[in-house]
Amino acid sequence: MVAALIPCCLNFTPKLGHFNRPLIHAAVCKNHRGARLKSCGVARPQILSPAFGEEDGLRVFVLSDLHTDYEENMNWINCLSSVKYRDDVLLVAGDVAETYSNFVSTMALLKDKFERVFFVPGNHDLWCRREGDNYLDSLEKMSNLYDACSSLGVDTNPAILNGLGIVPLFSWYHESFDTEMDIEGIRVPSLEMVCKDFHACKWPADLSNEGTSLALFFDAMNEKNHLMIEEIQRTCSQIITFSHFVPRLELCPEKRMLFYPKLPKIIGSDYLEHRIRSIHRRSKESISGCHVFGHTHFCWDHTLDGIRYVQAPLAYPRERKRRMNGGEDWLPFCIYCNGRSDGS
């Protein structure tokens, strides 16, 4: 989450106007599996069956935006079963914790509960406001986080598990990601005022939240894994990619429905979507593609142009209390079980 002004539950009733991008928010609820949900005004079946994720075989769970600097969230992680997930895989899509100590404690707990844990960083993970004297900049902090992951046995590189390809993707947002018309006629706080990244992150002189330099820099970091990604494309019939930031504008409610209409300017990357498409497009014809993301704290499960996009955020404690989809009882969310990623 990047702005305290944004709730996790919004009114998605369409309004008349010249903004016509479809609303596709779909909250995933354990208590309503099998029910029909409405997306863009069209009923569709819930992707997962009631028993999905309860079978033997490889299971992959996802979770984002853990924010364990909050005591309630750290307690939630600590209370996860140490038996139920011991043979399973967890993909952590960023925003684990702001402080290094909480990050290490959280990842150690998760690694103790899951067989394999994969991680990509979010913006909160790279904040330096509480530990500014410990790091030259946010890139140095990220390097330290990755060293900690290596020591804990947490995966940060692409891997193949029983024929399933898992690809973590670096990313950062850029303002030009937002192509909708701006809301006029009301006073809206500036990005610098609302988004703490502008003050909590520290970057080298050639990188900035303004423009596309950060988005391009983080996207280029994925090139170091190109050989493993090519092997995954050659050998895997199913691939799961995951990032912290949002790859498509359709994966956020349109700005007329947001408490902070400028949110789309600080959530996503066109370069990320291009990379996702390049990975899934070049795979086997029988490919089943899924991308997991985080950042906005909106529960999401929708298929666009052949790729399933999922967000399963723990989010802030106050947000979970307002959820209409069962709070956190459905988390972590199972997206792959015994060779199936669609519950069929």
So what's the pLDDT on residue 321? 84
219 within 8 A of 171, measured Cβ to Cβ: yes
Supply the range of the domain harboring residue 291. Answer: 49-337
Q: Determine the distance from the C-alpha atom of residue 190 to the mean position of all C-alpha atoms in its chain, rounded to a whole number.
A: 24
> Whole-angstrom Cα distance, residue 268 to residue 296?
10
Rounded distance between C-alpha atoms, residue 307 and residue 287, angstroms: 10
d(CA 277, CA 98): 31
**Within 13 Å, how many C-alpha atoms sit on residue 165's CB side?**
26
pLDDT at 64: 98
Does residue 23 belong to any structural domain of this protein? no
Q: Is residue 271 part of a domain?
A: yes
Contact 173, 211 (CB under 8 A): no
pLDDT value of position 325: 58
Phi/psi of residue 336, nearest 5 degrees: -150, 130
Q: What is the CATH number of the domain that holds 67?
A: 3.60.21
Residue numbers of the chain with a pLDDT score lower than 50: 1-52, 283-286, 343-344
Q: Quote the pLDDT of residue 329.
A: 80
The structural domain count of the chain equals 1
Residue 338: the pLDDT is 76
Within-domain flag for 203: yes
The rounded distance, in Å, linking the Cα atoms of 194 and 181 is 20
Question: Any bridge partners for residue 61, and if so which?
Answer: 90, 334
Residues with Cβ < 8 Å from 79, sequence gap 6 or more? none
Q: What angle do CA 286, 288, 289 make, to 5 degrees?
A: 135
255 within 8 A of 263, measured Cβ to Cβ: yes
In angstroms, rounded to a whole number, what is the distance separating the alpha carbons of residues 53 and 139? 37
In a domain, 33, yes or no: no
In a domain, 110, yes or no: yes
How far apart CA 105 and CA 97 sit, in angstroms, is 10
In a domain, 310, yes or no: yes
- 88 located within any domain: yes
Half-sphere exposure in the Cβ direction for 260 (13 Å, CA)? 22
- Asked if the structure places residue 21 within a domain, the reply is no
